[in-house]
């Protein structure tokens, strides 16, 4: 009996690994936490503006479709997607940047070095706004429709394919 009990932790571990492997390798579409926000109103916000001045607010953008992009100067995937954000801006897409848990001076340097694709940048020093959006990491991009609902969410760095297949259609075209 004692011998069987000695193997119990090993048996539990093997079962845990088997169940985990099954769940990770099964096919099919997986929903993410943020997928549940699609079709719901975007949270109202008033964020301190990077560099000072009037706050960045959702009220100022009522009636316009736009993107919210969570980024940080220390985020490598944010660096990778930056040229696509610059391209979207050049096509007339309004993008609200949210410096997530970043030092304002570092965010300023990041944007000065790479270019600023954002129409305005709000600060989210403690990550509360990101939590309201249902964000789990960075970068994350949210498409907000003119009626204030979230039309699409992308977790991770944007790619040309994601922009063409998911972001632009959710905006209703570029520059709306």
Strands 46-47 and 140-144: unpaired
Question: Which has more pLDDT, 42 or 37?
Answer: 42
122-163 pLDDT, tens digit per residue, is 999 999 999 999 998 899 999 999 999 999 999 999 999 999
pTM, two decimal places: 0.79
SS (H, E, C) 11-51: HHHHHHHHHHHHHHHCCCCCCCHHHHHCCCECCCCEECECC
CA atoms within 13 A on the CB side of 146: 8
- The class level of CATH for 36-171 reads alpha beta
Contact 149/100 with Cβ under 8 angstroms? no
Rounded average pLDDT over 74-90: 97
């Amino acid at each position: 009996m004692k011998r069987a009990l000695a193997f119990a932790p090993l048996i539990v571990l093997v079962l845990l690994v088997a169940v985990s492997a099954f769940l990770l390798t099964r096919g099919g579409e997986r929903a993410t936490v943020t997928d549940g926000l699609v079709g719901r109103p975007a949270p109202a916000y008033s964020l301190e503006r990077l560099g000072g001045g009037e706050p960045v607010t959702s009220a100022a953008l009522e009636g316009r479709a736009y993107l919210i992009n969570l980024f940080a100067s220390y985020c490598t995937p944010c660096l990778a997607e930056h040229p696509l954000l610059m391209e979207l801006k050049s096509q007339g897409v309004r993008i609200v940047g949210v410096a997530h848990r970043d030092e304002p001076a570092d965010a300023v340097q990041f944007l000065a070095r790479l270019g600023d694709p954002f129409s305005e940048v709000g600060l989210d020093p403690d990550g509360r706004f990101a939590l309201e959006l249902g964000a789990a990491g960075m970068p994350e991009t949210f498409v907000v429709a003119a009626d204030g609902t979230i039309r699409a969410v992308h977790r991770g760095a944007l790619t040309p394919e994601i922009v063409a297949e998911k972001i632009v259609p959710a905006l209703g075209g570029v520059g709306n």
